[in-house]
């Protein structure tokens, strides 16, 4: 939490615009992330004497009070990104040493966090990292013991037990970060279930090195890597099941790249059919066919909800439109893709010509199909295609860009999710209204509301997974604007509202009883949110597939309902 919080603060400040931005020392122990931050204009400095203006960010490890005083006197704007858990340990050390206690800090003496903690000790703090250093501790009557927040739990308790034998009245504080402790426990448990462990993170990161040590102590082959390029593919190919963990300073996109690289290794223990099925599903996702199929099936459900025969015309129209817009906007707005989904970004670069051609072919087919329905439908689809294309294009004249930040529709905070929901709702539920006399307005509006709410929740949920990548390129999604907790709360509210409308619509005779069956989609989406919130499921391709499956579920229920209830 502390590292992510610090990284988010720096990226948010960097996205505000030009102006000197510094971090007081390296923000985190990860060379790749530090290179990224420098490319965004955030420069690490250890000496502020040559810095006279701008903003400086205190890193998650915290700093000693004398350094904080120098920062305040410098006149720089200060952003304090000290991890709240580290700040708590600083407060414990400061309070008790003021009361006459001596403090023992169990940790690495040269680690920035420990240096900061010692600075709050009023010259009464001592650092030890192993039992052999105990004889060097001075005699004292009043003593407290704290730990560097990323210490290994068992090692800390072993040192504490030895200190208590010499100082039985010592006060012991369990200051190890609960996230660090949980991850260490998870590594021990995970290592018992796999053939090998891969630990992702900087070689200079203390907590990452400890995770690798814990994994090795279980006897399982362990590989500590910073990037996917360092994976030993030859050795990993002999394994059937690989466990992956990462240090606190490892960003999500680096973990994902390593995982995707591991998944691409052909295991000698994997069957041909299993690999073919996995690669086939991955190809459907990477080519946007999966999300387009979701639009196809959602259109089927909307037609049945509207009391119409779910023929292939409008679902095909939805498929072609959604496919074309996803392909187009992938290329117009490819910055975040490198961080959010590096494997798909690489796939797009490798097959650029084919994908661009397929996108243009989809637009052409979409317009041709709409023209075959009616000229009015054709004009509507032309308008929707233009609006969809404008999403990632500048909407302010080049000479006036300095007048505001919202140069594109996508730059408006939260616009991405709302634009997707409205576009899906329009092409799936409103376009069929242009065919005279076929669909009553109340039924169409009920279908529009169902489609829009489902797609809104789907899109905003995916935005939560992609916060780091979106922050890096400066995209203000709803997850960034509101934060994860409030975004999840909003999505629960949208699902509840959708469920209420879905129940009321048949009672008001807007639609038929099929509407009640669609409550299952709201239920399954709610379960996905709860599973993520309670950490039963983590952001992954599997979780995305579960969310996308809701669109297919709606369509399949619609087709089954139509088959069994449509007058023969």
25 has a pLDDT exceeding 90: no
**pLDDT of 247:** 86
Residue with the two structure tokens 């997707």 = 420
- In the block, which residue shows the tokens 């086939």? 280
In the 3-class helix/strand/coil scheme, how is 401-443 assigned residue by residue? Answer: HHHCCCCEHHHCCCHHHHHHHHHHHHHHHHHHHHCCCCCCHHH
Confidence class for position 341, pLDDT limits 50, 70, 90: low
Same structural domain for residues 205 and 305? Answer: no
- Note whether residue 500 is domain-resident: yes
Q: How far apart are CA 494 and CA 461, in angstroms?
A: 12
Q: Of 45, 61, 82, which residue constitutes the final position of a domain? A: 82
CA torsion, ordered 463, 466, 469, 470, to nearest 10 deg: 10
Instruction: Decide which of 55, 82, 109 is a domain's last residue.
Output: 82
* Annotation marks residue 113 as catalytic: yes
Q: Are residues 157 and 242 in the same domain?
A: no
Do 60 and 134 share a domain, yes or no?
no
Residues 108 and 207 both lie in one domain: no
Domain count, the chain: 4
User: Is residue 104 in some structural domain?
Assistant: yes
Q: What is the DSSP string of 123-151?
A: T-EEEESSGGGGGGSPP-SSEEEEE-TT-
Share above pLDDT 90 across residues of the chain, in percent, rounded to a whole number = 44
pLDDT, residue 99, reads: 92
Do 369 and 508 lie in one domain? The reply is yes
Q: Are residues 423 and 375 in the same domain?
A: yes
For position 352, what pLDDT does the model report?
Answer: 82
Tens of pLDDT, residues 284-297: 777 888 899 999 99
Specify whether the CB–CB gap between 203 and 209 falls below 8 A. Answer: yes
Same domain, 363 and 252: no
CATH number for 18: 3.40.50.11270
Residue 107 lies in a domain: yes
Tokens of 395: 């909407």
**Residues facing residue 254 across a β-bridge:** none
Contact 103, 125 (CB under 8 A): yes
The mean pLDDT value for 258-275 works out to 74
pLDDT score recorded for residue 82: 92
| Banded model confidence at residue 487, pLDDT cuts 50, 70, 90 | very high
Cα–Cα distance between 505 and 382 in angstroms, integer?
Answer: 31
State pLDDT tens for residues 488-500: 999 999 999 999 9
- Does residue 302 sit in the same domain as residue 415? yes
Helix, strand, or coil (residue 52): coil
Sequence-distant (6+) residues with CB within 8 A of 139 are: none
Residues 440 and 301 placed together within one structural domain of the fold = yes
Q: Which of 53, 66, 113, 343 is catalytic?
A: 113
Q: What is the pLDDT of residue 262?
A: 87
Helix (H, G, I), strand (E, B) or coil at 105: strand
Residue indicated by tokens 């616009």? 415
Q: Is the pLDDT of residue 122 over 80?
A: yes
DSSP string, 511-563: S-THHHHTHHHHHHHHHHHHHHHTTSS-SSHHHHHHHHHHHHHHHHHHHHHHH
Q: How confident is the model at residue 283 (pLDDT cuts 50, 70, 90)?
A: confident
- Pairwise pLDDT comparison (180 vs 321), residue with the higher score: 321
User: Is residue 276 assigned to a domain?
Assistant: no
In Å, what is the CA distance from 524 to each residue of 254, 255, 536, 539? 30, 28, 15, 17
Dig out the tokens for 259 from the structure.
Answer: 């995982």
Q: Domain boundary residue among 109, 144, 176?
A: 176
Residue scoring higher pLDDT (382 or 271): 382
Q: What is the pLDDT of residue 90?
A: 95
Q: Note the pLDDT tens digit of each residue in 344-363.
A: 777 777 888 888 899 999 99
Does one domain contain both 535 and 427? yes
In a domain, 298, yes or no: yes
DSSP track, 31-50 = HHHHHHHHHTTEEEES-GGG
Would you give the DSSP letter of residue 77?
A: E
- In the numeric block, the tokens 């995970």 are attached to 190
Does the pLDDT at position 395 exceed 80?
no
Q: How far apart are CA 30 and CA 468, in angstroms?
A: 15
18-32, 241-255, 361-375: least confident range: 18-32
198-235 confidence digits (pLDDT tens)? 999 888 887 888 899 999 999 999 999 998 889 998 89
> Region 295-311: what's the mean pLDDT?
91
Of the candidate ranges 55-59, 455-459, 473-477, the one whose mean pLDDT is the lowest: 473-477
Q: Is the pLDDT of residue 431 over 80?
A: yes
Residues 399 and 507 in one domain: yes
Residue 275 lies in a domain: no
Position 406 scores a pLDDT of 47
- Write down the residue that tokens 């038929």 correspond to: 512
Separation of alpha carbons 65 and 83, rounded Å: 15
Residue 134 resides in a domain: yes
Question: How far is the C-alpha of 433 from the C-alpha of 519, rounded, in Å?
Answer: 24
Closest CA relative to residue 352, chosen from 284, 287, 438: 287
Residue 506 in contact with residue 446, Cβ under 8 Å?
no
pLDDT recorded at residue 553: 93
pLDDT reading at 399 higher than 50: no
Enumerate residues 6+ apart whose C-beta is below 8 A from 313.
Answer: 369, 373
Of 405, 333, 392, nearest in space to 17 by CA: 405
Question: What average pLDDT does the structure give for the chain?
Answer: 85
Stronger pLDDT, 281 or 258, i.e. the higher one: 258
Looking at the structure, tell me whether residues 124 and 212 fall in a common domain. no
Residue span of the structural domain in which 111 resides: 86-176
Whether the model clears a pTM of 0.75, i.e. scores above it, the answer is no
Is the per-residue pLDDT at 485 higher than 70? yes
Evaluate the CA torsion angle 314, 318, 319, 321 in order and state its sign.
Answer: positive
pLDDT score recorded for residue 403: 42
Strand 102-106 versus strand 55-58 pairing type:
unpaired
Residues facing residue 143 across a β-bridge:
102
- What confidence tier does 424 reach under pLDDT thresholds 50, 70, 90? very high
Strands, E assignment, 130-255: 143-147, 171-172, 196-200, 222-225, 242-246
Of 351, 352, 427, nearest to 385 by C-alpha is: 427
Which CATH number characterizes residue 207's domain?
3.40.1010.20
Q: Which residues contact 73 (CB under 8 A, 6 or more apart)?
A: none
Task: Kindly tell me if the per-residue pLDDT of 95 is higher than 90.
Answer: yes
């Amino acid at each position: 939490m502390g590292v992510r919080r610090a990284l988010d603060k720096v990226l948010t400040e960097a996205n505000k615009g030009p102006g000197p931005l510094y971090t007081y020392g390296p923000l985190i122990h990860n060379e790749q992330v530090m290179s990224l931050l420098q490319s965004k204009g955030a420069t690490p400095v250890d000496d502020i004497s040559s810095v006279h203006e701008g903003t400086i960010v205190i890193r998650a490890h915290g700093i000693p009070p004398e350094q904080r005083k120098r920062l305040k006197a410098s006149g720089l704007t200060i952003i304090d990104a000290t991890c709240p858990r580290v700040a708590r340990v600083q407060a414990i050390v400061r309070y008790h040493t003021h009361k006459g206690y001596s403090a023992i800090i169990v940790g690495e003496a040269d680690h920035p966090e420990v240096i900061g903690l010692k600075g709050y000790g009023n010259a009464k703090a001592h650092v030890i990292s192993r039992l052999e250093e105990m004889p060097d501790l001075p005699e004292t009557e009043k003593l407290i013991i704290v730990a560097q927040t990323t210490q290994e739990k068992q090692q800390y308790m072993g040192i504490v037990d030895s200190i208590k034998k010499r100082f039985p009245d010592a006060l012991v504080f369990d200051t190890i970060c609960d996230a660090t402790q949980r991850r260490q426990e998870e590594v021990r448990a995970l290592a018992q279930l796999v053939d090998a462990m891969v630990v992702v993170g900087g070689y200079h990161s203390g907590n990452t090195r400890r995770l690798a040590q814990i994994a090795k102590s279980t006897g399982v082959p362990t590989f500590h890597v910073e990037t996917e390029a360092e994976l030993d593919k030859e050795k990993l190919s002999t394994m059937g099941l690989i466990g992956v963990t990462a240090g606190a300073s490892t960003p999500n996109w680096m973990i994902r790249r390593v995982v995707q690289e591991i998944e691409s290794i052909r295991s000698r223990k994997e069957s041909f059919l299993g690999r073919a099925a996995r690669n086939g599903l991955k190809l459907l996702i990477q080519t946007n066919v999966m999300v387009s199929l979701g639009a196809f099936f959602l259109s089927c459900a909307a037609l049945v909800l509207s009391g119409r025969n779910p023929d292939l015309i409008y679902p095909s129209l939805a498929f072609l439109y959604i496919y074309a817009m996803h392909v187009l906007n992938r290329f117009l707005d490819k910055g975040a893709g490198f961080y959010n989904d590096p494997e798909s970004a690489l796939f797009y670069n490798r097959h650029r010509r084919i994908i661009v051609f397929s996108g243009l072919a989809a637009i052409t087919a979409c317009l041709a199909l709409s023209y075959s329905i009616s000229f009015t439908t054709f004009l509507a689809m032309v308008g929707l295609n233009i609006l969809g294309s404008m999403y990632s294009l500048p909407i302010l004249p080049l000479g006036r860009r300095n007048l505001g930040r919202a140069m594109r529709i996508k730059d408006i905070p939260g616009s991405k999710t709302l634009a997707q929901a409205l576009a899906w709702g329009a092409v799936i539920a409103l376009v069929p209204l242009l065919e005279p006399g076929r669909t009553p307005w109340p039924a169409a509006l009920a279908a529009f509301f169902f489609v829009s709410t489902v797609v809104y929740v789907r899109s905003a949920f995916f935005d939560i997974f992609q916060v780091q990548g979106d922050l890096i390129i400066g995209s203000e999604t709803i997850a960034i604007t509101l934060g994860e907790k409030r975004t999840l709360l909003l999505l629960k509210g949208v699902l509840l509202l959708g469920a209420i409308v879905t129940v009321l619509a048949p009672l008001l005779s807007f639609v038929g009883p099929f509407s009640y069956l669609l409550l299952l989609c709201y239920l399954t989406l709610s379960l996905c949110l709860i599973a993520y919130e309670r950490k039963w499921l983590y952001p992954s391709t599997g979780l995305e597939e579960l969310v996308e499956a809701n669109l297919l579920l709606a369509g399949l229920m619609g087709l089954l309902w139509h088959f069994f209830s449509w007058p023969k």
